[in-house]
Amino acid sequence: MGVYSEQVLPRLTDLVMNTARLRAIRARVCTGLVGEVVEVGFGSGLNLPHLTAAVTRLRAVEPSMTAVQLAGPRIAAAPFAVEVVGPDGGRLPLPDGSADAALCTWTLCTVPDPVAAVGEIRRVLRPGGRLHFVEHGQAPDARVRRLQRWFRGAHRRVAGGCVLDRNPPEILRRGGLNVTHLDTYYLAGVPKPWAWTYEGVATAH
């Protein structure tokens, strides 16, 4: 990985993804998570302050060691064990049915094969286990979708491979999860090509 990808981007992401508005969303998405949790796209641990002691262990998947280093103080403050288990959401080094729940926040846009990553989440969840997620993606308005396509290439280069116009509910369905709750909205204060948000819960069956 280059200097920008490994050193600059994780620090920039830690800053821009830690606004008051995004912290409020993280708090909602993390509500109700209990037991053994797998987080795909752990980043710099920005979700940790929103998880309670009802979580007994968090197994974190994150490709950037710089991001994991930035997470150090948040890991130390967590009221549960945090274990970084690997870098690749497409191949989780965990046994089948070993997690009570999973967490994924603004991550499926960057995973090279998001359907495979969801399939891995499905594999490690126990029957009835839930994935709590929030993602940005394909907007409902044709004009905004055109802008997303126009910005797609440049955005991928500067944002760690992030694809603006993926369809998270379809990805979750194709990966074997059933979306049981979904809210969609434009995130206030963000340009529309980046703002359309999918927030919800999907269940393993």
Question: Is 42 in contact with 67 (CB distance < 8 Å)?
Answer: yes
Q: Does the pLDDT value for residue 1 go beyond 60? A: no
Chosen CATH of 3-204 out of 3.40.50.150, 3.90.1150.10, 3.30.70.2200, 3.40.50.1950: 3.40.50.150
Q: Give exposure, 13-40, as e/b (b: 16+ Cβ within 10 Å).
A: bbeeeeeeebeebbeebbeebeebbbbb
Q: Give 145-149's long-range contacts (Cβ < 8 A, gap of 24+).
A: 147/192, 147/193, 148/193
According to DSSP, the β-strands at 35-40 and 99-105 are: parallel
- Residue 55 is predicted with a pLDDT of 98
| Single-letter amino acid code for the residue at 133 | F
Q: Give the pLDDT confidence of 108-137 residue by residue, as tens digits.
A: 999 999 999 999 999 999 999 999 999 999
Q: Compute φ and ψ for 42, nearest 5 degrees.
A: -65, -35
Residue recorded with tokens 């309670």: 52
Q: Does the pLDDT value for residue 193 go beyond 80? A: yes
Of the candidates 32, 44, 30, 48, which has an alpha carbon nearest to the alpha carbon of residue 103? 30
* pTM exceeding the 0.75 threshold for the entire prediction: yes
